[in-house]
Amino acid sequence: MNNSKFKHILFGEPFPTSMAIHERLDKVRGLAIFASDPISSNAYATEAVMSILIVIGSGALSMTMPIVMAIAALVLIVVFSYIQTILHYPKGGGSYIVAKDNLGTLPSLIAAGALLTDYSLTVSVSVSAGIRAIVSAFPEIYDYRVLLALGTIAILTWMNLRGVRESGSVFAFPTYAFIGGVFLVIMIGLVRSFGLFGVAPLAPQVITGEMLTEDLTQLGMIWILLRAFAAGCTALTGIEAISDGVQAFKPPEAKNAAQTMVTMGVIAMTLFVGISFLATYLNLIPAHHDSLLSQLTRTITGEGFIYYWVQIFTMLILVLAANTGYQDFPRLGYFLARDKFMPRWLTNQGDRLVFNGGIITLAIVSSIVVIIFKADEFAMLPLYAIGVMLSFTISQSGMVKLLTKVSKLKPGETLDTLETHLHHEKGWQWKRIVNALGATTTAIVFIVLVVTKFAEGAWIIVLLIPLIITMFYSIHRHYDNVSENLSTRNLEETEISHVADVVILPIGDVHRGTLRALQYAKLITKDVRAVYISTDASLKERFLRRWKKFPLLTQNVNLIGIDYDYRDVLTPLIEYIEHVHSVEFPDQSITVIIPEILTNSLLSSGLHNKTALLLRGRLRHYLDIIIIEIPFHILPPKKKPEFKLTKTVDEVPAPLEDEAPATD
């Protein structure tokens, strides 16, 4: 089949199921892959904070550093909380798993709903920010940013449908190139700013604005600071990814994962603090066409090699960050579908052993977000991070509960969780305090985010998560009901519903197609009802003439003739079928045979009435009607026929009306 050949070229040859093995990552590559999301936040996190502060005047930008330090402290707390998760869920402890294991269904579904929205936003935000990095360097393509973002999503989708292996070293490079580049910029920036090593000092930009504190009440001031803090919390997204993928590390998995987590936190926060410090020191002002990181790099190093290096690897690390969405969303979708909370096709693995359904769903959702927000990541940010904070809170609360259970274990006893066996632990009190602190802090931040960003878009998430949870439950209800209906539990073999020994065959004319159907009907039952709906006396006469030409085939067949004074032959036909079904054979299945003429092209199929298709469509809604389709394929002509207008009916092999109204 050409179709399948094309598919193989585009997506590669299918992988056999047995090929599903997982390569393990060392810490260097593990960091590169899992850290791309939080580290890439540096492309926009500082700018997000400053964009809020600038509202009350450029003088307010001096508040950036205290806010950044608070966020860095928050990251520290979260990192240490998650180390507990890693150590207790070495098989992988995503929020959904931890919540399901310790808190029950509803909390796990809240976490799952929050994460699904956040994974979608990871793709939209990261891709938009990546395009922005390129647009900062090449402003002339600004007008095409939505198209470029959608194109990037399309490429990511295609790569993931092909089943890209994240473990490749190719993927490690952009992360380290970005870290190295930005680190270098910070170093040069510090050296030049303070004229170290005898370098001529770089003067901060002169800004004229002042902080408009006079016009602000104290409450208003706090409000702005909270909003700026909330905006900066986007730096925390993706931190939890390692806890979900512990098994991707080489043994000892948990230890390697935990160490990677700490390294990631340190690097991300170093860059965050460094960028923020220099940006405020140099008095940079957020601008629409030129990202803050781009401004910073240009101010410090000029528009040379380092500038383009940073811009290009900002773009690439952001694409990698978006790619983590492509790993996380389908995986969570699979877990949810396995537990019957999402459509079952999310568990289907495609030719390349990836979850096609989840990948395509994510691509559609994130593309819609990009279109709605015109690829402006700052417009999306109020929606972002909220879900992450909610899932942090739930996950850490679950850990607190788990550690409480662990605390009750006597030495020697074990606790079997979903994923592993736990023993009595030393220092559980301290660990529990870490997790409790994590849960409390993220809960507070969650509330701050919802309140301060509510009007700007957070209301969408507040509305969306309950809707998603309602959807989870109704899907679950549906599958439970289907299972109930299909279950063979307590089913006696004799209970299967009876099939009536009757076949109804709608027949519009006597031709090879309908005769074949008639033959088949006679094979499977003694009681064949050929139903002819007559709308025209002369056609009926011709029908009967032809019917009598085949005495062998038509013998023992009940020919039911129905005269009908309207043109929609389906109505009397379905009435008759209903009558037989409900009056003659109540509580039994009956069979309807539909003869169907199939032409060799879609175009020519448009030349035929779709009566068979319509009949099938309407019968399907009835209970217990079995439909047999007898196809009759029209072969292409052997020779070119002559054209002459046909004037009489019986001269020609089979005139127009030979194609029965009810059968083709």
User: How would you class 260 by CB atoms within 10 Å of its CB: exposed for 0-12, middle for 13-18, buried for 19 or more?
Assistant: buried
Is there binding between residue 620 and a second copy (CB under 8 A)?
A: yes
Helices (H), 373-489: 377-380, 386-407, 428-453, 459-486
Closer by beta carbon to a second copy, 351 or else 376: 351
Is there binding between residue 629 and a second copy (CB under 8 A)?
A: yes
Task: Write out the binding residues for a second copy, residues 300-339 only, by CB under 8 A.
Answer: 338-339
Per DSSP, the residues of 643-654 read -----SSSSSSS
Q: Which stretch binds a second copy (CB under 8 A): 26-34, 158-166, 421-429, 483-491?
A: 483-491
Of 244, 376, 377, 658, the one binding a second copy (CB under 8 A) is 658
Closer by beta carbon to a second copy, 169 or else 494: 494
Is there binding between residue 557 and a second copy (CB under 8 A)?
A: no
Of 91, 344, 423, 579, the one binding a second copy (CB under 8 A) is 344
Least CB distance to a second copy at residue 532 (A): 16
Is there binding between residue 350 and a second copy (CB under 8 A)?
A: yes
Phi, psi of 101 (to 5 degrees): -70, -35
Least CB distance to a second copy at residue 414 (A): 18
- How many residues touch a second copy under the rule CB under 8 A: the total is 100
**CA 307 remoteness from chain centre:** 35
Is there binding between residue 420 and a second copy (CB under 8 A)?
A: no
- For residue 55, the surrounding DSSP H or E stretch is none
Of 24, 250, 255, 476, the one binding a second copy (CB under 8 A) is 476
Is there binding between residue 486 and a second copy (CB under 8 A)?
A: yes
* Residue position matching structure tokens 């796990």: 108
* Residue 159 near residue 10 (C-beta atoms within 8 A): no
Tokens describing residue 23? 């390569």
Closer by beta carbon to a second copy, 22 or else 549: 549
* Residue 279 near residue 296 (C-beta atoms within 8 A): yes
Q: What binding mask, one character per residue, do residues 592-611 give for a second copy by CB under 8 A, x or -?
A: -----xxx----x-xxxx--
Count of Cβ atoms closer than 10 Å to residue 632 Cβ: 17
Separation between Cα atoms, residue 363 and residue 351, nearest integer Å: 18
Separation between Cα atoms, residue 36 and residue 373, nearest integer Å: 23
Closer by beta carbon to a second copy, 272 or else 355: 355
Is there binding between residue 545 and a second copy (CB under 8 A)?
A: no
Task: Write out the binding residues for a second copy, residues 488-507 only, by CB under 8 A.
Answer: 488-489, 491, 493-494, 496-497, 499
Considering only CA atoms, which of 584, 41, 616, 567 is closest in space to residue 275?
A: 41
Task: Write out the binding residues for a second copy, residues 92-121 only, by CB under 8 A.
Answer: 100, 105
Closer by beta carbon to a second copy, 183 or else 520: 520
Of 477, 545, 548, 579, the one binding a second copy (CB under 8 A) is 477
Tokens describing residue 307? 């500038």
Is there binding between residue 5 and a second copy (CB under 8 A)?
A: no
Task: Write out the binding residues for a second copy, residues 558-587 only, by CB under 8 A.
Answer: 565-568
Q: Which stretch binds a second copy (CB under 8 A): 80-88, 279-287, 387-395, 638-646?
A: 638-646
* Residue 272 near residue 72 (C-beta atoms within 8 A): yes
Of 174, 358, 513, 572, the one binding a second copy (CB under 8 A) is 513
Separation between Cα atoms, residue 95 and residue 239, nearest integer Å: 12
Alpha-carbon torsion 598, 600, 601, 605, what sign? Answer: negative
Least CB distance to a second copy at residue 423 (A): 22
The region that residue 164 occupies, defined by phi over 0 for left and psi between -120 and 50 for alpha, beta otherwise, is beta
